[in-house]
Chain A
């Protein structure tokens, strides 16, 4: 093992110890679901959780952001219970692993993704039918969060 390899190995070990894994080539920390949940997605439990005080009859029915675990589990499913102008998005998956552009969870938080959203299987679920959920949360996510979310989906949306 040459000197460079040793150094790389040492840095990798350090990164593992500190939990700081970078995306290959980007220099940015590799995102985990735990940080995405802590940073922003946990806000969604105000309305999307069993007995949530902010829930109404028209709130999406399958999502549960009570905990990180329930959030990941429910995001792995499809939208249901949407009504009105949003009903075309029922049965659309929240997450398409490896493809942020067709992941509904990103589209409801990111305007460019929303305006380009196009699914051949459910063509009605387009920019007109997708709500901007940042309005409901009351604060927009940071650009870094959106980037991290995209990267996390791109990387396979692991439950990490």
Chain B
């Protein structure tokens, strides 16, 4: 059974149960639906005229190409341009596709192709650079943004399908990402201007902070300043023309000092009335997405909004409702419910932007605005904070407390901006002077009465801390009693800066005391107090064991207000700290009492989440399920929490099932998995069920699926493919395996025709392609397996079980493909995740050892192999893989120079490895181990014992049949299996070396002569030029023995022979300085200069070779060869001077 296949299959079914409770779904919001997937970037999505077929750009094949994808289907390359392409746009009549091409013009051309796969024609040429194009409604003309030459400005022209002007120039300067209203009359764009007059706009431009509108055919334009912070981009009109969509970079999210396309983007829309002269007047933008999703390039269709979003560094095309993540029809009450449910700060900002739009009084708007300001401040999005601080004074102009609050907030922003600008974080005099002024100014506010006083003091605390005046900052902090702070903005600022300072100074008790105060502060809402209680508990337990945590909780509990959030959270913690696998029922009963006693939703939610987390960590399957079930049973179906509760319930269900599986409670595992398959089409549940059912010894899986699903159902196909795939791990004739594999791939393909974007299916298809590669050595199948695995990995975000399995499989596959650096990276990533399956861990360790070995890290490889061996020793279930692991470990030890350890391990293999069913394989293995044992023994210093082992090996070789050595050879290996002659050559080389070490030069010479003869025959048979270097090396070794015996003439003959072989090698492939030739010419020269080859001048062939090699090493400087270059240069000088050689030069004839 193949080690790799076994590991891959094991990986599929046993995962890391404790890590799954990671991602929480977006509560109450409509998250973007992902349409594309893959390890590459997929972006710039737009719809065809049917509104459903997707066109997008992908760089999956290294260049940017246009793909199309039917709903639920898989992507298809539309055409191969042979160059980067972008901005695909289908004409309104659906007959043509316009796009930007760089095939013949690196600055871009507008080209069109007739759909589906017709002619290509470019409408512009190399004299202009095109940056954008859109269709006019007539499908006979396009709007094109272009510039002439480097200094030219960006103009918007209308051209026909021959590339001729189809009207006057629409706009003369500064056009960027234009959009045409569906009535063909209005065009909108983001103006760009030269950042410098000295260079063209192509080199240096900056976007204006407004949108520009123009009516086609009329002069003039309108500039529309949107009431938003940041920079606008990519306007796009709704299909019905009633909205203008755009992306907005609201803030400097990457904190590089400027807002640009590298910052996270948010989508907005604004109502557009084309019937009026000023279509955007009096309307306010509506936020559609959260900055967390980083979406841009809006492309509205009739019934959905297509966009490109970035998740974990990967771009993909997504779809949203036209009114975005929040329904435009939601009431203020519904928005408030959603607001209370969301936890992610960017999503909170999204909801708040809608609450703000619906607020009817200035006071309500101000409350929202302050909350948004607070969140932006916590996120470090200073541009937004600045914007909203100014907005506040506009909203309540003349309100003194607001003006004061705004002034202090702007001081905080200015301070943080100053700090970001510090070079390398080093304080300089200018900075310090500016901050002293700031502290003084803030001091004026700190003398006032009211809310601004405390905020100003806290701002001073922050500035003083940054200036290095921590003690002064702490003293000032003590003058701000939390209990007297009367507004939540200041309380959160305290929590951010005050607590940070106390933690940084190691003042743990004051820190806990402040957190406790925040966790019971009446100004805060219950959920906010609970958040602080959560932080309190985390701080309380940081860095200590369970017993100490229990003591600390017990000490703090009496101090907390009995019915408050802190007491609740401490009580919860006190129960959870007692949890273990044996007392789940007792802990459950106590927690249920607590649950029933506290009916506030946020407390119950906290109890459920904390309990599930702890139960999963401790593999407490029964408890894990209880509260997720109770919670989901109580959250109403229409509540924003519902989706999160259902998702938690299902995550918990999967975890519970896997824990049962790991605990060998097969009935519970099977039943739980089956239950999950009723609730979701998640293939992890189906795979888990199939495995659990089979583990129960039942053979009715296929029958169950056939009874449940119609014959063409994708889940039935999946089950059939899975069952066939798992049988591949069983021994079978290769023809039977090949048939089963083909059939499994057919089923998987059929399943994929209707199930797209599935992690489980991509994983299975990757596994089957992987198997094809292993079975037939078909490298293309291996590459396709990588693509499927990568696709699955891309879809497995937030699913550590899948990630673990996929990283492991990918790492093993890349190692098999010889991509060892990639393999190591993947296996290292896998190592970061929990592991439960010892077999999979062993496969990974062995693959890591192999890849390290191939990367030239012999010692690391040996250590990894030893770890694998230790794992085998510790896990009885790995007993059947012990001897394979010993074999690999012995080889790695030998390669790392650990001769004694290698000798010991090969000895163990020879003495104790059990007989194998395949006699030929056993004989081949025994011969290999004997040879390696001899090599290790010689290297360990026992040359005579090595000679005895070699004699044994010779007898084994004589008894082998010709084909025996090929038994067990992998079809994926890129080196052919050894022949009997190859082994004989190897054996004679080892014998010669051992004889030399044993001071038996005649035996060494005879072995080398036999080796030479074998190599000559091989060369004659194969004409393999690499054998010329092997022949040269053997001649050199023969020369060395003769030299040691004082046979200088014979030594010189063999050295000349060796030179002849290297010259022939150079003649055939032009390689001047392979390692063997460098060693040879150095050895020959040193022998002559040291007088060990007789008193004769250097022969011309040697001098010519020395000069060739020297010139090559001088031309191609290589630090690793510098040593050789130095000595060869010296030898040439000495030969030229015909003087005596230096005494005892480094190196020498071996």
Instruction: Determine if A34 is an interface residue (Cβ-Cβ < 8 Å).
Output: no
Chain B's closest residue to A59 (CB) is B671
Q: Please give the distance in Å from B702's CB to the nearest CB on chain A.
A: 13
Give Cα distance in the complex from A114 to B632, angstroms. 13
Give Cα distance in the complex from A9 to B696, angstroms. 60
Chain B's closest residue to A135 (CB) is B632
Whether A84 and B633, one on each chain, are in contact in the complex, defined by CB atoms closer than 8 angstroms, is: no
Instruction: Determine if A146 is an interface residue (Cβ-Cβ < 8 Å).
Output: no
Whether B679 and A114, one on each chain, are in contact in the complex, defined by CB atoms closer than 8 angstroms, is: no
Q: Which of A43, A46, A57, A132 contacts B633, CB < 8 Å?
A: A132
Q: Is the interface of A mostly helix, strand, loop or mixed?
A: loop
Whether A128 and B649, one on each chain, are in contact in the complex, defined by CB atoms closer than 8 angstroms, is: no
Instruction: Determine if B678 is an interface residue (Cβ-Cβ < 8 Å).
Output: yes
Instruction: Determine if A55 is an interface residue (Cβ-Cβ < 8 Å).
Output: yes
Within 98-140 of A, Cβ neighbours of B (below 8 Å) are at 111, 114-115, 127-132, 135-138, 140
Q: Please give the distance in Å from A142's CB to the nearest CB on chain B.
A: 13
Whether B678 and A137, one on each chain, are in contact in the complex, defined by CB atoms closer than 8 angstroms, is: yes
Whether B637 and A54, one on each chain, are in contact in the complex, defined by CB atoms closer than 8 angstroms, is: no
Q: Which of B626, B646, B668 contacts A85, CB < 8 Å?
A: B626
Instruction: Determine if A56 is an interface residue (Cβ-Cβ < 8 Å).
Output: yes
Give Cα distance in the complex from A135 to B645, angstroms. 11
Give Cα distance in the complex from A136 to B680, angstroms. 10
Whether B588 and A85, one on each chain, are in contact in the complex, defined by CB atoms closer than 8 angstroms, is: yes
Q: Please give the distance in Å from B903's CB to the nearest CB on chain A.
A: 55
Instruction: Determine if A47 is an interface residue (Cβ-Cβ < 8 Å).
Output: yes
Q: Please give the distance in Å from A93's CB to the nearest CB on chain B.
A: 20
Whether B678 and A136, one on each chain, are in contact in the complex, defined by CB atoms closer than 8 angstroms, is: yes
Whether A128 and B630, one on each chain, are in contact in the complex, defined by CB atoms closer than 8 angstroms, is: yes
Whether A135 and B674, one on each chain, are in contact in the complex, defined by CB atoms closer than 8 angstroms, is: no
Whether A85 and B678, one on each chain, are in contact in the complex, defined by CB atoms closer than 8 angstroms, is: no
Residues of chain A within 8 A of B675, CB atoms compared: 46-47, 54, 56, 136
Whether A85 and B629, one on each chain, are in contact in the complex, defined by CB atoms closer than 8 angstroms, is: yes
Chain B's closest residue to A114 (CB) is B633
Chain A's closest residue to B657 (CB) is A56
Q: Please give the distance in Å from A86's CB to the nearest CB on chain B.
A: 8
Using A47-B675, A84-B622, A84-B626 as known contacts, say yes or no to A132 and B632 having CB atoms under 8 A apart.
yes
Whether B637 and A140, one on each chain, are in contact in the complex, defined by CB atoms closer than 8 angstroms, is: yes
Residues of chain A within 8 A of B425, CB atoms compared: none
Whether B679 and A56, one on each chain, are in contact in the complex, defined by CB atoms closer than 8 angstroms, is: no
Q: Please give the distance in Å from B914's CB to the nearest CB on chain A.
A: 40
Residues of chain A within 8 A of B636, CB atoms compared: 111
Whether B633 and A135, one on each chain, are in contact in the complex, defined by CB atoms closer than 8 angstroms, is: yes
Within 667-692 of B, Cβ neighbours of A (below 8 Å) are at 667-668, 670-672, 674-675, 678-680
Instruction: Determine if A53 is an interface residue (Cβ-Cβ < 8 Å).
Output: yes
Contact digits for B644-663, partner A, Cβ 8 Å, 1 yes 0 no: 00100100000000000000
Q: Please give the distance in Å from A76's CB to the nearest CB on chain B.
A: 24
Using A46-B674, A57-B667 as known contacts, say yes or no to A85 and B704 having CB atoms under 8 A apart.
no
Q: Please give the distance in Å from B651's CB to the nearest CB on chain A.
A: 13
Q: Please give the distance in Å from B601's CB to the nearest CB on chain A.
A: 13
Q: Which of B595, B646, B649, B668 contacts A56, CB < 8 Å?
A: B668
Residues of chain B within 8 A of A131, CB atoms compared: 629-630, 633
Instruction: Determine if B356 is an interface residue (Cβ-Cβ < 8 Å).
Output: no
Q: Please give the distance in Å from B584's CB to the nearest CB on chain A.
A: 9
Chain A's closest residue to B649 (CB) is A135
Instruction: Determine if B1022 is an interface residue (Cβ-Cβ < 8 Å).
Output: no
**Interface residues of B, count at CB 8 A:** 31
Using A131-B633, A132-B633 as known contacts, say yes or no to A46 and B678 having CB atoms under 8 A apart.
yes
Q: Which of B595, B630, B632, B678 contacts A54, CB < 8 Å?
A: B678
Using A128-B596, A135-B632 as known contacts, say yes or no to A54 and B588 having CB atoms under 8 A apart.
no
Give Cα distance in the complex from A56 to B1050, angstroms. 85
Q: Please give the distance in Å from A87's CB to the nearest CB on chain B.
A: 9
Residues of chain A within 8 A of B595, CB atoms compared: 85, 128
Contact digits for B398-416, partner A, Cβ 8 Å, 1 yes 0 no: 0000000000000000000
Give Cα distance in the complex from A115 to B634, angstroms. 8
Give Cα distance in the complex from A5 to B106, angstroms. 91
Give Cα distance in the complex from A133 to B131, angstroms. 57
Contact digits for A29-63, partner B, Cβ 8 Å, 1 yes 0 no: 00000000000000100110000111111110000
Whether A85 and B693, one on each chain, are in contact in the complex, defined by CB atoms closer than 8 angstroms, is: no
Whether A85 and B592, one on each chain, are in contact in the complex, defined by CB atoms closer than 8 angstroms, is: yes
Q: Please give the distance in Å from B626's CB to the nearest CB on chain A.
A: 5
Q: Please give the distance in Å from B679's CB to the nearest CB on chain A.
A: 4
Contact digits for A50-83, partner B, Cβ 8 Å, 1 yes 0 no: 0011111111000000000000000000000000
Whether B679 and A85, one on each chain, are in contact in the complex, defined by CB atoms closer than 8 angstroms, is: no
Give Cα distance in the complex from A131 to B670, angstroms. 21
Whether B674 and A54, one on each chain, are in contact in the complex, defined by CB atoms closer than 8 angstroms, is: yes
Give Cα distance in the complex from A114 to B595, angstroms. 17
Give Cα distance in the complex from A111 to B638, angstroms. 11
Q: Which of A47, A52, A127, A136 contacts B634, CB < 8 Å?
A: A127
Give Cα distance in the complex from A84 to B668, angstroms. 15
Residues of chain A within 8 A of B630, CB atoms compared: 85, 128-129, 131
Chain B's closest residue to A54 (CB) is B674
Q: Which of B592, B625, B627, B679 contacts A138, CB < 8 Å?
A: B679
Residues of chain B within 8 A of A55, CB atoms compared: 667, 671
Whether A56 and B678, one on each chain, are in contact in the complex, defined by CB atoms closer than 8 angstroms, is: no
Whether A135 and B646, one on each chain, are in contact in the complex, defined by CB atoms closer than 8 angstroms, is: yes
Give Cα distance in the complex from A57 to B704, angstroms. 21
Q: Please give the distance in Å from B598's CB to the nearest CB on chain A.
A: 11
Give Cα distance in the complex from A132 to B634, angstroms. 8
Chain A's closest residue to B656 (CB) is A56
Chain B's closest residue to A136 (CB) is B675
Whether B588 and A135, one on each chain, are in contact in the complex, defined by CB atoms closer than 8 angstroms, is: no
Whether B633 and A136, one on each chain, are in contact in the complex, defined by CB atoms closer than 8 angstroms, is: no
Q: Please give the distance in Å from B1027's CB to the nearest CB on chain A.
A: 64
Give Cα distance in the complex from A129 to B649, angstroms. 16
Within 691-721 of B, Cβ neighbours of A (below 8 Å) are at 693, 704
Chain A's closest residue to B595 (CB) is A128
Chain A's closest residue to B673 (CB) is A54
Give Cα distance in the complex from A32 to B629, angstroms. 31
Residues of chain A within 8 A of B622, CB atoms compared: 58, 84
Chain A's closest residue to B704 (CB) is A53
Q: Which of A53, A127, A136 contacts B679, CB < 8 Å?
A: A136
Give Cα distance in the complex from A46 to B675, angstroms. 8
Give Cα distance in the complex from A137 to B674, angstroms. 11
Residues of chain B within 8 A of A56, CB atoms compared: 667-668, 671-672, 675
Residues of chain A within 8 A of B625, CB atoms compared: 58, 84
Whether B634 and A128, one on each chain, are in contact in the complex, defined by CB atoms closer than 8 angstroms, is: yes
Q: Please give the distance in Å from A46's CB to the nearest CB on chain B.
A: 6
Chain A's closest residue to B668 (CB) is A56
Residues of chain B within 8 A of A140, CB atoms compared: 637
Using A85-B592, A135-B633, A138-B680 as known contacts, say yes or no to A53 and B626 having CB atoms under 8 A apart.
no
Whether B633 and A53, one on each chain, are in contact in the complex, defined by CB atoms closer than 8 angstroms, is: no
Using A132-B632, A136-B679 as known contacts, say yes or no to A53 and B592 having CB atoms under 8 A apart.
no
Residues of chain B within 8 A of A59, CB atoms compared: 671
Residues of chain A within 8 A of B672, CB atoms compared: 56
A-B contact pairs, 27 of them (CB 8 A): A46-B674, A52-B671, A53-B671, A53-B693, A53-B704, A54-B675, A55-B667, A56-B667, A56-B671, A57-B667, A58-B668, A84-B588, A84-B626, A85-B588, A85-B630, A111-B637, A114-B633, A128-B595, A128-B596, A132-B633, A135-B633, A135-B646, A135-B679, A136-B675, A136-B678, A138-B680, A140-B637
Which 6 residue pairs of A and B lie closest in terms of their CB atoms, listed nearest first? A56-B671, A132-B633, A138-B679, A138-B678, A54-B674, A56-B668
- A residues near B (Cβ < 8 Å) are 43, 46-47, 52-59, 84-85, 111, 114-115, 127-132, 135-138, 140
- B residues near A (Cβ < 8 Å) are 585, 588, 592, 595-596, 622, 625-627, 629-630, 632-634, 636-637, 646, 649, 665, 667-668, 670-672, 674-675, 678-680, 693, 704
What 12 new A-B contacts, CB under 8 Å, besides A127-B634, A128-B634, A131-B629?
A: A46-B674, A46-B678, A47-B671, A54-B671, A54-B675, A56-B672, A58-B668, A114-B633, A128-B592, A137-B678, A137-B679, A138-B679
